[in-house]
Structure 1
Amino acid sequence: MRLKDKIAIVTGGASGIGKAISDLFAAEGAAVVLADKNEDAIPEAVESIKQAGGRASGSAVDVTQRDQLAEFMDKVVAQYGRIDILINNAGVSRYRPFATTTSEDWDIVLDVDLKGVFFCTQAVAPHMVRQNYGRVVNISSALGTGAAPHKTAGSPGGSAAYASAKAGVIMLTKTLARELGPSGVTVNCIAPGSFLTPFSASTRTPEEVQEHLQHRKSTVVLGRLGTLQELAAPVLFFASDDSSYVTGHTLFVDGGRSDRM
């Protein structure tokens, strides 16, 4: 087991990508804390891990609330004695054409997708620095590396806010790797391509989802969408000691997005 007896926090851990990561980490021996704003989804997600023989607990957490995050990290340390791994996965999207993007659209995306990564890492860093060990993995996006057209391929609007936030996550990863590296903490990033998750349908009709997914298949060298397990596995690499000499790196897990190559 690559994470035997490690304590891991996964934000947005109760569904989609976060749940796949939580499941894999628990299977690899970690005690997983699912931190999610969707409080109703937490009990079922935790129970499914326990039913599979893993260790898990959950907590309702809003990654945009700095004071709440500091209290949450303190509680995890009080319960488990340490925090070894933080996966910054929580995210939202508001696809809007640039001309009609509102301040509210911009703020919610930047607050959750970028500021949330900063706040969560800032809250966990003192605990990791104190123990001279830590693994932080940030979830960015292929949209953080290149623009995509809007109102095409099942995308209802532009991605200015989302792409800006995810690009920021990549640069934040590099700067945090520099600051925390001397204290034994690695900070790396995953940039996913196209995966079918509840997130895919958050701003699309069922017809738009299918159009979007078919288009994305056509832009991928491997000719198919990825599975959540194929995304969780590279996250495990960064969270484990297999990557002990890797930091500040962004790994594209996108099946070879031809429009990004």
Structure 2
Amino acid sequence: MRLKDKVAIVTGGASGIGRAAIDLFASEGASVVIADINASAIEAAVGELRNAGHKAAGHMCDVTRREDTHEFMKMVHAEFGRIDVLVNNAGITRYRPFAEATSEDWDAVLGVDLKGVFFCSQAAAPFMRRQGYGRIVNISSALGTGAAPHNTAGSPGGSAAYASAKAGVIMLTKTLARELGPDGITVNCVAPGTFLTPISASNRTPDEVEEHLEHRRRNLLLRRVGTLDELASVILFFASDQASYVTGQTLSVDGGRSDRM
């Protein structure tokens, strides 16, 4: 078991990519902790994990609030005695045509997708430093590695806030790797391509989701959408000691996207 006796936190862990990572971490021997803002989803996920014989807990946490993230990490450490793995996965989108995007849209997306990564890492780092061990895995996006020509929300700049936040996550990963490496903490990043998750449909109709997926398939060398299990296995690699000599890196998990600039 690659995470035996480890304590692993996943933000946004009650659904989508986060839930896939939580399930895999639990099967690999970790005590798993879900941080999310959806109380009912947390309760359901924790119940399912415990019924399957896993050690699991969950707490509501607004990653955009520094005080919430610090209090959350203190609670986890008090309950489990250590924090070994943090996956910064919580994210939102606010796709708008470029000309119609508001300051509230911009602040909301960067607040969760970038500031939340900083706050959670900052809150977990002291515990990892004291134990001389830690694994931080940040979730970026293919949109953070290069602009795709496909219109989002009817505009080439419709994903401006999301893409900017996810590009920021990649650079934040590098700077945190420099900061925390001397303390035995690795910081790496995963940049997913096209996966069907709740966020995929958050700003699209069902027809728009299918059109989006079909466009992406045409520009993937593997000609298919990825599965969450495939993505979770890469997150596990960075979270485990298989990647003990890797830090500051971003790995694209995108089926070979050929449409980035």
| Coarse TM-score class (shorter-chain normalised) | over 0.9
Q: Distance in 2 between matches of 1:117 and 1:29?
A: 25
Letter in 2 for 1:135: R
Which segment is superposed worse, 142-151 or 122-131?
142-151
Letter in 1 for 2:42: I
Does 1:207 find its partner at 2:188? no
TM-score (norm 2): 0.97
The answer for the alignment partner of 2:86 in structure 1 is 86
Identity %: 71
The answer for the alignment partner of 2:141 in structure 1 is 141
Cα deviation, 1:156-195, whole Å, max 9, x if unaligned, reads 5510000000000000000000000000000000000000
**Corresponding residue pairs, total:** 259
3-state SS of paired residue (1:35)? strand
Structure 1 outlier segments of 4+, above 4 Å: none
The answer for the alignment partner of 2:259 in structure 1 is 259
3-state SS of paired residue (2:224)? coil
Q: Distance in 1 between matches of 2:98 and 2:118?
A: 25
| 1:148-227 equivalence runs, <5 A | 148-149=148-149, 151=151, 155-157=153-155, 158-227=158-227
Q: Distance in 2 between matches of 1:82 and 1:156?
A: 46
Q: Distance in 2 between matches of 1:252 and 1:151?
A: 21
Which segment is superposed worse, 92-101 or 162-171?
92-101
3-state SS of paired residue (2:48)? helix
TM-score (norm 1): 0.97
Contact 2:12/2:90 (8 A) holds in 1: yes
The answer for the alignment partner of 1:48 in structure 2 is 48
Letter in 2 for 1:55: K
Contact 1:95/1:156 (8 A) holds in 2: no
Distance 1:42 1:156, change over 3 A: farther
Contact 2:85/2:136 (8 A) holds in 1: yes
Q: Distance in 1 between matches of 2:48 and 2:217?
A: 31
Offset at 1:51? 2.5
3-state SS of paired residue (1:94)? coil
Which segment is superposed worse, 249-258 or 142-151?
142-151
Offset at 1:149? 3.6
Cα deviation, 1:73-109, whole Å, max 9, x if unaligned, reads 1111111000000000000000112211100000000
Cα deviation, 1:19-76, whole Å, max 9, x if unaligned, reads 0000000000000000001112111111222232222111001001101111111111
The gaps in structure 2 that reach 5 residues or longer are none
RMSD: 1.1
The gaps in structure 1 that reach 5 residues or longer are none
Letter in 2 for 1:47: G
3-state SS of paired residue (2:196)? coil
Letter in 1 for 2:225: L
3-state SS of paired residue (1:87)? strand
| 1:7-86 equivalence runs, <5 A | 7-86=7-86
Q: Distance in 1 between matches of 2:77 and 2:217?
A: 43
Offset at 1:225? 0.4
Contact 1:195/1:226 (8 A) holds in 2: yes
Offset at 1:260? 3.1
